[in-house]
A and B are shown apart, each in its own frame.
Chain A
Amino acid sequence: MEWNDEGIVLSARRHGEGSAVVVLMTREHGRHAGLARGATSARSRAMLQPGNSVEAVWRARLAEHLGNWALEPLEGAAAELMDDPLKLAGLTSACAITDKALPEREPHPRVHAGLMALLSAMRNEDLGDLWVAAYVRWELGLLADLGFGLDLETCASTGATEDLVYVSPRSARAVSAQAGEPYHGKLLTLPRFLSKRGGGEPADMLDGLILTGHFLESHVFGAHGQPVPEPRQRFVERCRTQIPA
Chain B
Amino acid sequence: MAGEGIERVMQYLAKLPGLGPRSARRAALHLLKRREALMLPLADALREAAENIQACGVCGNLDTIEPCEVCRDHRRDDTRICVVEDVADLWALERAAAFNGRYHVLGGLLSALDGVAPEDLNIEPLLVRAGEPEVTEVILAMDATVDGQTTAHYISDRLAGRDVEITRLARGVPVGGELDYLDDGTLAQAMKARRSG
How many chain-A residues does the 8 Å CB contact rule pick out?
Answer: 29
Contact of A13 among B113, B183, B189 (CB under 8 A): B113
Distance (whole angstroms) from the CB of B151 to the closest CB of chain A: 11
CA distance in complex: A11, B111 (Å): 10
Query: In terms of DSSP, what is the predominant structure of the interface of chain A?
Result: helix
B150 and A46 within 8 A (CB): no
Residues of B within 8 A of A78 (CB): 145-146, 185
Contact of A73 among B20, B154, B183, B188 (CB under 8 A): B183
A92 and B112 within 8 A (CB): yes
A88 and B183 within 8 A (CB): no
Residues of B within 8 A of A43 (CB): 183
Q: Is A169 an interface residue (CB 8 A)?
A: no
Q: Is B197 an interface residue (CB 8 A)?
A: no
Given A11-B113, A17-B18, A96-B112, A76:B146 Cβ within 8 A: no
Tell me which of A47-55, A135-143, A197-205 binds B: A47-55
- Give A26-51 interface residues, CB cut-off 8 Å to B: 43, 45-47, 49-51
Q: Is B153 an interface residue (CB 8 A)?
A: yes
Residues of A within 8 A of B17 (CB): 17
Q: Is A145 an interface residue (CB 8 A)?
A: no
Given A78-B185, A80-B188, A45:B145 Cβ within 8 A: yes
Q: Is A149 an interface residue (CB 8 A)?
A: no
Distance (whole angstroms) from the CB of B181 to the closest CB of chain A: 8
Q: Contact size class for B?
A: 20 to 34
CA distance in complex: A230, B113 (Å): 10
Residues of A within 8 A of B114 (CB): 13
A82 and B144 within 8 A (CB): yes
- Give A60-87 interface residues, CB cut-off 8 Å to B: 73, 75-76, 78-80, 82-83, 85
Residues of B within 8 A of A50 (CB): 146
Contact of A46 among B18, B153, B183 (CB under 8 A): B183
B112 and A230 within 8 A (CB): yes
Q: Is A114 an interface residue (CB 8 A)?
A: no
Distance (whole angstroms) from the CB of B186 to the closest CB of chain A: 7
Residues of B within 8 A of A51 (CB): 146
CA distance in complex: A45, B146 (Å): 11
Residues of B within 8 A of A231 (CB): 112
CA distance in complex: A75, B185 (Å): 8
A88 and B146 within 8 A (CB): yes
Residues of A within 8 A of B51 (CB): none
B145 and A49 within 8 A (CB): yes
B112 and A73 within 8 A (CB): no
Q: Is B117 an interface residue (CB 8 A)?
A: yes
Given A49-B145, A88-B149, A89-B150, A229:B112 Cβ within 8 A: yes
Q: Is A91 an interface residue (CB 8 A)?
A: yes
CA distance in complex: A92, B111 (Å): 10
Contact of A85 among B153, B184, B189 (CB under 8 A): B153
A76 and B184 within 8 A (CB): yes
CA distance in complex: A96, B114 (Å): 12
Residues of A within 8 A of B113 (CB): 11, 13
Distance (whole angstroms) from the CB of A114 to the closest CB of chain B: 20
Given A13-B113, A45-B145, A230-B117, A79:B150 Cβ within 8 A: no
Given A50-B146, A92-B150, A79:B186 Cβ within 8 A: yes
Binding site for B on A (CB under 8 A): 11, 13, 17, 43, 45-47, 49-52, 73, 75-76, 78-80, 82-83, 85, 88-89, 91-92, 96, 229-231, 234
Known: A45-B145, A88-B150. 4 other contacts (CB 8 A): A46-B183, A78-B185, A229-B112, A230-B112
